[in-house]
C-alpha cells in the first residue's frame, strides 16, 4: 500500500519517499518548500487503513517514527477501507494542514 501512496503523491506533484518502520510505514512528501510526514498501518480492529498526516514542525521530536506521529496532538487521522478514497482524504488533509498551520493568521506552531 505504501508504494501506491508514494507513487500517487509523485503523480500529483510531490516528491515522496516511504519506508517501513516496524509495524507501520512512514512517508515524507514535499511540494515546494512544504514538507509533510505521514504514518500508515492496517487497522487492528477494523479492515481499514489508518493514516496520520502532519507537518514536521509540529512534532515533538526531530526523529520521525510511527509513535511520534501517532501520539502527537497535531495533525489529522484518516481511516479508510478503499485505497482511492484514502488517497483523496490524504490530499484534503494536506491542504487542511496548510490552511490551519501555515497560512497567515493560522494557529501558531508550537
Q: Which domain holds residue 36?
A: 2-100
- Partners of residue 27 on adjacent β-strands: 18, 38
Residue 58 included in any domain: yes
Total tally of structural domains belonging to the chain: 1
Residue 110 included in any domain: no
Report pLDDT digits (tens) over 1-46.
Answer: 778 889 999 999 999 999 988 888 999 999 999 999 999 988 766 7
In degrees and rounded to multiples of 5, residue 53 shows phi and psi of -120, 130
CB 6, CB 16: distance < 8 Å: yes
| Contacting residues for 34 by C-beta, under 8 A, at least 6 apart | 55, 98, 102
Report pLDDT digits (tens) over 47-104.
Answer: 788 899 999 988 888 888 888 898 888 899 999 988 889 899 999 999 999 888 777 6
Residue 90 included in any domain: yes
Residue 109 included in any domain: no
Residue 30 included in any domain: yes
Residue 79 included in any domain: yes
CB 75, CB 96: distance < 8 Å: no
Task: Report the alpha-carbon distance of residue 23 to residue 49 in Å, rounded.
Answer: 13
Where would I find the H helices in the chain?
2-11, 66-71, 83-97
Residue 59 included in any domain: yes
Residue 105 included in any domain: no
Report pLDDT digits (tens) over 29-39.
Answer: 999 999 999 99
Amino acid at each position: 500500500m505504501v508504494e501506491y501512496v508514494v507513487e500517487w503523491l509523485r503523480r500529483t506533484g510531490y516528491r515522496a519517499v516511504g519506508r517501513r518502520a516496524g509495524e507501520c510505514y512512514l512517508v515524507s512528501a514535499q511540494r515546494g518548500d512544504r514538507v509533510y510526514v505521514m504514518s500508515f498501518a492496517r487497522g487492528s480492529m477494523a479492515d481499514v487503513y489508518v493514516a496520520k498526516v502532519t507537518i514536521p514542525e509540529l512534532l515533538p521530536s526531530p526523529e520521525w517514527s510511527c509513535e511520534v506521529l501517532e501520539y502527537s496532538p497535531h495533525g489529522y487521522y484518516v481511516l479508510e477501507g478503499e485505497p482511492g478514497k484514502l488517497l483523496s482524504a490524504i490530499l484534503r488533509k494536506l491542504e487542511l494542514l496548510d490552511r490551519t498551520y501555515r497560512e497567515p493568521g493560522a494557529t501558531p506552531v508550537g
